A and B are shown apart, each in its own frame.
Chain A
Amino acid sequence: MRRSVNQRFVAGIAAAVGLSLVLTACGSSTTSSPASPGTSTAGTRTAGSSSADSSSADSSSISSSSAGSSTGGSSSGGSSSAGSSAGESASAASNPVTASTAPAAPSVPMATSVGAGEGEVDIVAWAGYVEDGTNDPKQDWVHPFEDKTGCKVKSKVAGTSDEMLQLMKTGDYDLVSASGDSSLRMVYGSVVQPVNTDLVPNYKTIYPFLEKQRWNSVNDQMYGIPHGWGANLLMSNSAVVKTPPTSWGAVFDPNSPYQGKVTGYDSPIYIADAALYLMKTKPELGIKNPYALDDKQFAAAVALLTAQRPLIGEYWSDYTKLVQAFESGDLVLGTSWQVIANLITTDAKVKVTATVPTEGSTGWSDTWMVAAKAKHQNCAYRWLDWIVSPAVNAQVATWFGEAPAQSLACAQPDMTEQCKSFHAADAAYAKGIWFWTTPTKTCVDGRTDTTCADYTAWTQAWTTIKG
């Protein structure tokens, strides 16, 4: 008797748990949405009381939170950072359609001087960009900043460019490490202010080919400080693919001998890779910019990817998954990042080559921007200068796996290899990269006689391609 009551109870509880799982699974799509400003606390943690007794008067307590603290271990923190960044990051076309053709940005006042620090600065960043030693004791450029400037750092990790935009719109943050697909949206949405580069001494030694680009400036006015960049590469397993391919055609070849072992990047933005290939191989389509596709061009890119699908073993967006799949031999060919190639090379289980094919490549480039209504503008400017100072920029680039924007970063000890493998000083290499940008109805290549597929259309097409 008693037992049966117990069992009813257990079964009832279990049923309730199961039901609530369903409900929460569905409901969470609403509750955890970055669209609601209230969720901005999720990743923010306070830590690091160690510098609470900082000598500086206006930094009585340090409340810093680590980028990537929510992802657990240091390695996963690093990896997810690269994943999310490149995944969402983007920029206006690198082969710059001259910035002077851009529509005027809303008028937002620019700083004219940097005064006394406000004692605090609130940052939205990619995981891995604001490290206070929580993930790896050796990776700490937050506490030295706090000690030096008296500005305590509060940071919030954003997983996507969309989330960054939402967070910046709340007005609670002073700084953001925006990628190219969100930077212009922030400029035209009056979310960020122009940056007075005279107030950022370290800006002078930023690589010139990163200055005044379409994703960080409007009509020659800088809206941020370049941070770092990277390219998507064509990677192949050298033991299986004897002749390393030099064209993206290798991943689109319907008769590929590597059927089922090819990979593609699992994001709508990957459609741009197909468009880039078509731009070079099918000039009759008239594609001038892989992010500006009218109906016919878009349909061609989607058709190319649909035809590619049978070749694909799996798509990847998790960077550790790609490393594992290449090392086990399940994948031998496909789109990748420099940092992934480096990791596989370090593990030395398989040998890979990773190159920018003859058609060029897509990639990401990030920019530090200041909120239009920053409450801690002076501290924000101090951070701008700090994060692109040679030693710190070198450290971030190494931890994150990208090319530093600061030319002097490559003169730092042990940076030769990093700068070489990421082609940091190679302007021609950067020129060949079409940095990711958000496709909009208004074609980003400047055409006005037609409309282009916007990102919503890209997302739905991506679902259709995967079938």
Chain B
Amino acid sequence: MTITQAKPPAPPRPERSTLRHGISVGLARRAWLRLSGLLSLPLFWLVVAYLGALAAMFVTAFWTIDSFTSELDKTFTWENFRTLVGKPVYRTVAVRSLVVAAGVTLIDAVVAMPIALYMAKVAKPRTRALLVVLVMTPLWASYLVKAYAWRVMLSGDGPVTRLVGTVGEPLYGLGATTVVLAYLWLPYMIIPLFAGIDRIPNSMLEASADLGGRTWRTYRSVLLPLLAPALVAGSIFTFSLSLGDLYTAKIVGGTTQLFSNVIYDNLVTANNLPFAAAAGAFPVLVMVIYLAAVKRTGALENL
């Protein structure tokens, strides 16, 4: 029986080691180099992909297009914005989109609150884990599949229509769009609310009870103020997602068109990029105003 001895490991190649060592030393001495090495890629992404695209959009919004040759006319003009503001149809559609987004947010807040409360304060840990999974699961299914499922349910001979008792008359329309959007974005409201409620110590609720606060009083004076940041966080999702949605209106909206449909139509069927860009400024503007308002309340710091 022979014992083969393993060769002793070769000594590391000196030059490489020196190189690595050199890099380490160099990096250790220069903090700015470490930082820029770490941040350059994400910053590139943020500045070029996000802000760059936005900037390109705003610049394009001031151009026009030749409808025959589709050539961009790159002379500065307010024409697109004048059309947007001047034609009543765009105002109507804009207001409709805002109402839908606000309605979706309201429905989601009302529906999510009891669910989140139960998950955070009542359910046992096992049940809670299960509920979190259940709330998140629909997010794994395709958005379009869910919207089309609603299309079938709201169709003239669909289950919802049968329940309402209007067999033969499909329920497509503005209401259907709002309900389906509320369904689609509900998890985005439940999760922040759940996190927010979970963060509130039980002692607060007990203190309120000790001071004679009944359910409603405790809810209104203790829970709601503490939950404001969570509600705002949830509303940012539901509101912005609703404002940016176009397929739900196409699938269950009947003849309803929302602002995103207007943008899409100008982009895809008309290839009128400048006008679509100008129209695209509207949701951006709304969200900027909304976020600025939210920031003033201090809710963003509490997220």
Contact in complex: A31, B271 (CB < 8 Å): no
The answer to the question of A30 belonging to the interface, with a C-beta cut-off of 8 Å to chain B, is yes
A18-B237, A29-B277 known; A268-B270 Cβ under 8 A = yes
B4-12, B29-37, B258-266 - interface stretch: B258-266
A22-B240, A330-B155, A464-B89 known; A29-B267 Cβ under 8 A = yes
Give the residues in chain A near B50, CB-CB below 8 Å: 20, 23-24, 27
A8-16, A106-114, A228-236, A351-359 - interface stretch: A8-16
Majority secondary structure, A binding face:
helix
Bound-complex Cα distance A163 to B270 (A): 10
The answer to the question of B157 belonging to the interface, with a C-beta cut-off of 8 Å to chain A, is yes
- Seed contacts A22-B243, A31-B56, A35-B70; 9 additional CB < 8 Å A-B pairs: A7-B195, A14-B237, A19-B240, A24-B53, A87-B269, A160-B271, A441-B67, A460-B83, A467-B255
B198 contact from A7, A15, A29, A318, Cβ within 8 A = A7
Bound-complex Cα distance A313 to B251 (A): 12
Q: Output the least CB separation between A324 and chain B (Å).
A: 8
Bound-complex Cα distance A312 to B170 (A): 12
Interface residues of B (CB under 8 A from A): 49-50, 53-54, 56-57, 60, 65, 67-70, 72, 83, 87, 89-90, 92-93, 151-152, 155-158, 168-170, 172, 188, 191-192, 195-196, 198-199, 230, 233, 236-237, 240-241, 243-244, 250-251, 253-255, 257, 260, 262-263, 265-273, 275-277, 280-281, 283-284, 287, 291, 303
A160-B271, A165-B70, A462-B265 known; A11-B303 Cβ under 8 A = yes
A28-B53, A467-B257 known; A14-B266 Cβ under 8 A = no
Interface residues of A (CB under 8 A from B): 3-4, 7-8, 10-12, 14-15, 18-31, 33-35, 87-88, 159-160, 162-163, 165-166, 185, 188-189, 260, 267-268, 309, 312-315, 318, 321, 324-325, 328-330, 438, 440-441, 454-456, 459-460, 462-464, 466-467
Majority secondary structure, B binding face:
helix
A30-B277, A314-B254, A314-B255 known; A459-B69 Cβ under 8 A = no
Give the residues in chain B near A328, CB-CB below 8 Å: 152, 155-158, 170
Bound-complex Cα distance A30 to B169 (A): 40
Among residues of B, the one whose C-beta sits closest to the C-beta of A440 is B68
Contact in complex: A330, B70 (CB < 8 Å): no
Contact in complex: B241, A18 (CB < 8 Å): yes
Q: List 11 A-B contacts (CB under 8 A).
A: A11-B230, A22-B287, A26-B280, A26-B283, A27-B50, A30-B277, A314-B254, A314-B255, A438-B67, A454-B68, A463-B89
Listed from nearest, the 6 A-B pairs whose CB atoms lie closest are A162-B271, A27-B53, A459-B270, A25-B244, A7-B195, A30-B57
Bound-complex Cα distance A267 to B57 (A): 24
Give the residues in chain A near B192, CB-CB below 8 Å: 11, 14
Give the residues in chain B near A467, CB-CB below 8 Å: 89, 92-93, 255, 257
Contact in complex: A189, B69 (CB < 8 Å): yes
Give the residues in chain A near B195, CB-CB below 8 Å: 7, 10-11
Give the residues in chain A near B198, CB-CB below 8 Å: 3, 7
Contact in complex: B172, A438 (CB < 8 Å): no
Q: Output the least CB separation between A461 and chain B (Å).
A: 9
Among residues of A, the one whose C-beta sits closest to the C-beta of B53 is A27
Q: Output the least CB separation between A112 and chain B (Å).
A: 29
Contact in complex: B254, A35 (CB < 8 Å): no
Give the residues in chain A near B169, CB-CB below 8 Å: 260
Give the residues in chain A near B157, CB-CB below 8 Å: 328-329
